[in-house]
C-alpha cells in the first residue's frame, strides 16, 4: 500500500497545529515568567502605569480616559460581530450541499465528506472562541469604564488594573483564535498550504510578540504633584501681593 495524497492531511495538518500550539505554550511561559520579553507583558506594564496615573489624577481628566476605554470597547464589539457573522456564513455554507468546490481534484489532499466536515467544525470552533473572547474583552472594558467614572475616591486602582489587563488578555486570545482560523481556512485548499501558513505564522508572530525595548521607567505621584502645584501657586500669590504691601 503506497502513500496517497489523502495521507498528507494526517501528516501535515497535525504537524502544523502542533507547531502553532508549541509556539503559544512557549509564549505563555515567557509571558508568565519573563513578561518584559513579550509585547503583551510590555503593554500590560504601560497599562498599569496608565491606570495609576488616571486614578491619582484630577477628576476633570476622566473624559479622556473614558474615550480610550470606549475605543477598546468599540474594537472588541466590532471583531465580535465579524466573528459571529463568519460563523453564520460557515453554517450557511455547510447547509449548501450543492457546493462541491472543496471536494474537487483542484484540492491536493483528503476530500472525503468526513474530512470536510472536520474542517468546517474546526473553523467554526475557532470563530466561536474568538467571538466569546471579544465579548469578554468588551465586558471587562465596560467594567473598567464604570470603575473609572465612579464619583468616589475609594475605588482601589488594583480593581481597575485587573479589569483593563483582563480585557487586554481576552483581546489577545481572540486574535490568536483568528490566527488559528486562518490556518484552518487554508486547510480547505489542501494540507500543504495549511502547513506552509503555520510555519509563516509562527515566524511572523514571533517577530510581533518579541519585545527588545527596555521597560519605561514611569515616575508619577499625584499627591506630590498636587503639593508642588499648590506650592507654586502660593509662591506666585505671595509675589503678586508683595508690591501692594510695600506701597
Instruction: Supply the mean pLDDT for the chain.
Output: 81
For residues 233 and 224, give the distance between their C-alpha atoms in angstroms, rounded to a whole number.
Answer: 14
3-state secondary structure of 126: helix
Could you give phi then psi for residue 214, rounded to 5 degrees? -70, 155
240 has pLDDT over 80: no
80 has pLDDT over 90: yes
Is residue 237 in some structural domain? no
- pLDDT tens digits for 212-237? 877 666 555 544 433 443 444 345 44
Is residue 25 in some structural domain? yes
11 has pLDDT over 60: yes
Is residue 82 in some structural domain? yes
121 has pLDDT over 80: yes
Closest alpha carbon to 200 in 212, 189, 192, 188 = 192
Closest alpha carbon to 209 in 172, 166, 182 = 172
Furthest CA-CA distance within the chain: 112
For residue 116, give Cα distances in angstroms to 99, 120, 126, 145.
12, 6, 16, 44
For residues 35 and 51, give the distance between their C-alpha atoms in angstroms, rounded to a whole number.
Answer: 18
What is the percent of the chain where pLDDT is above 90? 41
Is residue 224 in some structural domain? no
Kindly state the average pLDDT of the residues 125-135.
95
79 has pLDDT over 80: yes
Lookup: cell for 45 = 506594564
Is residue 141 in some structural domain? yes
Of 34-43, 76-85, 213-222, which gets the smallest average pLDDT? 213-222
Q: Cell 494540507, residue?
A: 191
For residues 54 and 218, give the distance between their C-alpha atoms in angstroms, rounded to a whole number.
Answer: 13
Is residue 225 in some structural domain? no
Query: pTM value?
Result: 0.80
Is residue 230 in some structural domain? no
Is residue 156 in some structural domain? yes
| DSSP-assigned letters across all residues of 26-68 | HHHHHHHH-GGGBHHHHHHHHHHHHHHHHHHS-GGGHHHHHHH
Closest alpha carbon to 163 in 94, 65, 245 = 65
Which pLDDT band, with edges at 50, 70 and 90, does 100 fall under? low
pLDDT value at residue 3: 58
For residues 134 and 146, give the distance between their C-alpha atoms in angstroms, rounded to a whole number.
Answer: 19
Alpha helices in the chain (DSSP H): 7-33, 39-56, 62-95, 113-148, 157-187, 191-209, 222-246
Closest alpha carbon to 69 in 142, 163, 131, 135 = 142
Provide the number of structural domains found in the chain: 1
CB–CB of 198/183 below 8 Å? yes
25 has pLDDT over 50: yes
Domain with 197 in it: 7-219
- pLDDT tens digits for 161-192? 999 999 999 999 999 999 999 999 888 888 88
Amino acid at each position: 500500500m503506497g502513500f496517497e495524497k489523502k495521507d498528507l492531511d494526517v501528516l501535515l495538518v497535525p504537524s502544523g497545529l502542533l507547531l502553532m500550539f508549541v509556539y503559544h505554550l512557549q509564549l505563555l511561559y515567557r509571558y508568565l515568567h519573563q513578561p518584559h520579553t513579550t509585547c503583551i507583558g510590555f503593554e500590560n506594564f504601560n497599562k498599569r502605569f496608565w491606570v495609576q496615573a488616571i486614578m491619582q489624577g484630577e477628576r476633570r481628566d476622566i473624559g479622556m480616559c473614558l474615550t480610550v476605554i470606549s475605543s477598546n470597547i468599540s474594537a472588541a464589539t466590532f471583531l465580535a460581530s465579524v466573528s459571529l457573522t463568519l460563523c453564520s456564513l460557515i453554517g450557511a455554507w455547510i447547509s449548501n450541499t450543492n457546493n462541491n468546490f472543496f471536494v474537487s481534484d483542484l484540492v491536493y489532499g483528503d476530500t472525503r465528506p468526513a474530512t470536510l466536515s472536520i474542517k468546517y467544525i474546526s473553523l467554526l470552533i475557532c470563530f466561536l472562541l474568538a467571538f466569546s473572547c471579544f465579548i469578554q474583552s468588551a465586558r471587562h472594558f465596560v467594567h473598567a469604564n464604570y470603575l473609572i467614572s465612579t464619583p468616589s475616591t475609594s475605588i482601589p486602582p488594583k480593581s481597575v488594573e485587573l479589569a483593563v489587563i483582563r480585557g487586554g488578555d481576552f483581546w489577545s486570545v481572540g486574535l490568536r483564535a483568528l490566527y488559528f482560523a486562518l490556518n484552518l481556512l487554508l486547510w480547505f485548499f489542501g494540507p500543504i498550504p495549511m502547513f506552509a501558513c503555520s510555519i509563516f505564522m509562527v515566524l511572523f508572530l514571533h517577530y510581533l510578540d518579541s519585545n527588545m525595548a527596555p521597560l519605561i521607567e514611569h515616575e508619577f505621584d499625584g499627591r506630590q504633584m498636587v503639593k508642588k502645584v499648590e506650592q507654586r501657586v502660593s509662591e506666585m500669590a505671595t509675589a503678586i501681593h508683595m508690591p501692594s504691601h510695600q506701597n
